[in-house]
Amino acid sequence: MKLQKANALKGELTVPGDKSISHRAVMFGALAKGTTEITHFLQGADCLSTISCFRSMGIDIDNDGRSDRVLVHGKGLHGLTQPKDTLDVGNSGTTMRLMSGILCGQPFPVTMTGDDSIKKRPMGRVITPLTQMGADISSLAGTGCAPLLINPVKEALRGINYPSPVASAQIKSAVLLAGLYADSKTSVTEPYVSRNHTELMLGMLGADIKTVGTTAIVEPNPSLHGEKIVVPGDISSAAYFIAAGLLIPGSEILIKNVGINPTRDGILRVCRLMGADVQVLNPRNTDSEAVSDLLVRHSELKGTEIGGALIPTLIDELPVIAVMACFAKGKTIIKDAAELKVKESNRIDVMAHNLTMMGVPVTATEDGMIIEGGYPLKGAVIDSKLDHRIAMSFAIAALAAEGETEILGAECVNISYPGFYNDLHGLIQ
- Closest approach, Cβ 422 to ligand S3P, in A, equals 23
User: From residue 223 to residue 242, what is the string marking binding to ligand S3P with x (rule CB under 6 A)?
Assistant: --------------------
Q: Kindly state whether residue 351 participates in binding ligand S3P, applying the rule CB under 6 A.
A: no
- Closest approach, Cβ 31 to ligand S3P, in A, equals 16
User: From residue 20 to residue 49, what is the string marking binding to ligand S3P with x (rule CB under 6 A)?
Assistant: x-----------------------------
Cβ contact 22:47 at 8 Å:
yes
Judged by CB, which is closer to ligand S3P: 195, or 298? 195
Which region, judged by CB under 6 A, interacts with ligand S3P, from 31-39, 76-84, 165-173, 251-259? 165-173
- Closest approach, Cβ 337 to ligand S3P, in A, equals 10
257-316 residues in contact with ligand S3P (CB under 6 A) are: 315-316
Question: By C-alpha distance, which of 343, 321, 342 is closest to 333?
Answer: 321
Q: Kindly state whether residue 168 participates in binding ligand S3P, applying the rule CB under 6 A.
A: yes
The H-or-E segment that residue 54 falls in is helix 45-56
Instruction: Please report which residue ranges of 333-418 form alpha helices under DSSP H.
Output: 347-357, 388-400
- Angular region, 381: left φ>0, alpha ψ -120 to 50, beta rest: beta
Helix (H, G, I), strand (E, B) or coil at 75: strand
- Closest approach, Cβ 281 to ligand S3P, in A, equals 26
316-335 residues in contact with ligand S3P (CB under 6 A) are: 316
Judged by CB, which is closer to ligand S3P: 157, or 318? 318
What does the chain come to in residues? 429
- One residue of 13, 127, 169, 311 binding ligand S3P per CB under 6 A: 169
Strand segments (E) across 312-403: 331-334, 362-365, 368-372, 381-383
- One residue of 22, 63, 91, 94 binding ligand S3P per CB under 6 A: 94
- Closest approach, Cβ 124 to ligand S3P, in A, equals 13
- Closest approach, Cβ 38 to ligand S3P, in A, equals 15
195-214 residues in contact with ligand S3P (CB under 6 A) are: 195
**Among the options 316, 349, 383, 423, which is catalytic?**
316
Dist. CA 114–CA 89, nearest whole Å: 5
Cβ contact 408:382 at 8 Å:
yes
Neighbours of 407 (CB within 10 A): 26
Q: Supply the DSSP string of 105-168, one letter for each residue.
A: TSSS-EEEE--TTGGGS--HHHHHHHHHTT-EEEETTSSSSSSEEEEPPSSPBPP-EEE-SS--
Total residues contacting ligand S3P (rule CB under 6 A)? Answer: 11
Determine whether 287 is an active site residue: no
Tell me how far the alpha carbon of residue 208 is from its chain's centroid: 25
Residue numbers annotated as active site: 316
Give the residues lining the site for ligand S3P (CB under 6 A). 20, 94, 168-170, 173, 194-195, 315-316, 339
